Amino acid sequence: MIAGLGLIVGGIAAGVFGSLLGLGGGILIVPLLTLGFGLPLREAVGVSLVSVIVTSSASAGVYLQRHVANLRLGMTLELFTAMGALIGGLLAFLLDERTLAALFAALLVYAAISMLRRPGGATEAEPGAGYVYRIQRSGLGYVGSVGAGVISALLGVGGGLVKVPVMHLVMGVPLRVATATSNLMIGITASASAIIYLFRGGIDPYVAGPVAVGVFLGASVGSRTAHRIDLRVLRTLFVLVLTYTAFEMIRKALLL
């Protein structure tokens, strides 16, 4: 009972954070389940993919209704991301947990450093009526999307950790638009790889259920409050949580 409540509360926190930053909540769910509840890393990734699907479902409609997300860009990039997710799903069961934990920590460090950089050329202006921005370096965006799909399947993070920096820093998409567009994409990306985990018995329904409920509640709240949060606060929150989580995952990799 207590564990179930803990999973729901953790899911709420992950859902709020995931919907605000377009990450899907996996960045918190995987460390929560492995470090807090002792779940094997590969099973935590499977549950995390379910939570990513829920986050996307709960928040995508809100972002579309407010005309913040770029639907055309999201669906174009998702073609490449889904291919990467299928590849990553097959690779996930070939790697040991120490390697997965080290990869997760490295990814978090990369994302934190990327978001600390000044976004050269990417404007921070608030998108709205008549707001125009130009998509840059589409080819690099496609390559980054394939990588995001592989990482999503390997680490259960929905690929948002790569998608948001790629869209924002490489393609010149405003941060708020990038996070909203990522929320559209992550559910499809996670679904492509979650199927592989499901058939291989990598998803525990008794853990996935409470987590999914919490994530849905958190994502519903986060998507409705995202437009009220200052972008500088959003970026600082992103970097702080990534740094702390990376430290914890490095410890886990060394202790396995």
> What percent of the chain shows pLDDT beyond 70?
77
Specify the pTM.
0.68
Instruction: Indicate the pLDDT class of residue 96, thresholds 50, 70 and 90.
Output: confident
pLDDT at 46: 82
Write out the residue range of the structural domain in which residue 239 sits: 2-255
pLDDT greater than 60 at residue 121? no
> Which pair of structure tokens corresponds to residue 210?
């409470």
Confidence label for 117 from pLDDT (cuts 50, 70 and 90): low
Angle between helices 138-155 and 71-92 (to 10 degrees): 40
Cβ neighbours of residue 23 closer than 8 Å, sequence gap 6 or more:
17, 157, 158, 160, 161, 164, 182, 186
* Of 37 and 1, more confident: 37
Q: What was the pLDDT predicted at 88?
A: 83
**Domain count across the chain:** 1
Model confidence at 246, pLDDT cuts 50, 70, 90, reads confident
- List CB contacts of 96: < 8 A, sequence separation 6 or more: none
